[in-house]
Amino acid sequence: MAQGAHQAPLSPSRLSRQSTSTRRVREKAAAIRKSFQRPKFWVTGFGWCLATCAGAANIIAFKCWSLYASHVTGSTSAMAFRLEGYHQGEYGSESLKEACSLVLCFLLGAYTCGILIDKNQVHFLGKAFYGMALVLNSALLVSAAFIPGRLVPSCFVAAACGLQNAMCTSHFGAIIRTTHVTGTVTDIGSTMGRISMIWLRRAIQKQALNDIDRAEIAVDAQKLAVLAGLWASYLSGGLIGIYMENVIPGPKALLVPASVTGSIGLFYMACRQLLKDPKFPETKPWTLKHSTLNPKPQTLNPKPQTPNPKP
């Protein structure tokens, strides 16, 4: 056959199979895009603000009392280390008491959040006590600024961090953590690895990205934007805390992050009370449900429902 000859047209059955395959790919790509909804800008900004406050509080606690209040992983490792040292007679019970107290207080803070907010959803102006949780967080930081001693004020800061972290993690999903960045950096690395693997696989196969690849990259890119902002906010908070403690020496520097979280909590409570006024129309709570990348499979060709026959 000559090179310039036209190819034979595809059979109707083959055209139908190609059309079905293309439709399946597009529907799967659409499901992937819908599986992750990036939090609204005000929600993301709220998380970044809290991460900045937590970074500042953690640095101030370390500069004042040489204890990291939000590092539960490090405190747990210290418990094992101190237990071995206590058994060998190298450390006294005081160092073991410090590590156990920090872990316990962080746990109590998260437990308190579970009591105040028992739904895995964000209800803007809903029934959950987000404002009260933020005001309590601020009260714990203010108490730590004025309580004398070393361990007790550090435990108050640890409880505030546990309360704040539970408030964000349980309602925005594990993607948002505001009092530590170990998981955040882990998610950044794994997400970047997934994106790189998609490009590398297509480069080896010498193929262009299909709709599913582009959808997965778009979802992971949205996650990266949120995670990178959280990490940068925590770092910025640490820098702010260092210089803040130089300007306001001692634990009283905690009053600055406490004023931020307290102001946000009071503003939230005021908005709730204002919109409960009968002068204002009823406002439906804005809801953000945590979604996963494994949506429920959808039926591509649902059976048509037959109407009930009339008598």
In a domain, 90, yes or no: no
**Percent of the chain with pLDDT strictly greater than 70:** 71
Is 8 among the domain residues? no
**Structural domain includes residue 122:** yes
Tell me what pLDDT residue 15 has: 57
Tracing tokens 């435990």 back to the chain, one arrives at: 155
Other beta carbons within 10 angstroms of residue 16's beta carbon come to: 11
Structure letter (DSSP) for residue 295: P
The total number of structural domains in the chain stands at 1
**pLDDT tens, position by position, 6-21:** 555 556 666 566 666 7
What residue numbers bound the domain in which 272 lies?
54-65+105-288
Q: Which residue has the tokens 């006024």?
A: 277
- What is the three-class DSSP state of 172? helix
- Whether 201 is covered by a domain: the verdict is yes
pLDDT bucket at 29, cuts 50 / 70 / 90: confident
> Is 256 contained in some domain?
yes
Residue type, 284: K
Output the pTM of the full model.
Answer: 0.75
Q: What is the mean pLDDT of residues 63-79?
A: 89
Neighbours of 152 (CB within 10 A): 14
**287, containing H or E segment:** strand 286-289
The 10s digit of each residue's pLDDT in 31-52 is: 777 777 776 777 788 889 999 9
Asked if the structure places residue 207 within a domain, the reply is yes
Tell whether the model's pLDDT for residue 92 goes beyond 70.
no
Q: What is the mean pLDDT of the chain?
A: 79
Is the predicted pLDDT of residue 304 greater than 80, yes or no? no
| DSSP string for 233-281 | HHHHHHHHHHHHHHHS-SGGGGHHHHHHHHHHHHHHHHHHHHHTSTTSP
Q: Which residue type sits at 207?
A: Q
Residue 286, phi then psi, degrees to nearest 5: -80, 130
Q: Is residue 305 assigned to a domain?
A: no
Q: Is the pLDDT of residue 251 over 90?
A: yes
**Predicted local confidence at residue 290, as pLDDT:** 40
Does some domain include residue 240?
yes
Residue ranges with strand state E in the chain: 121-124, 286-289
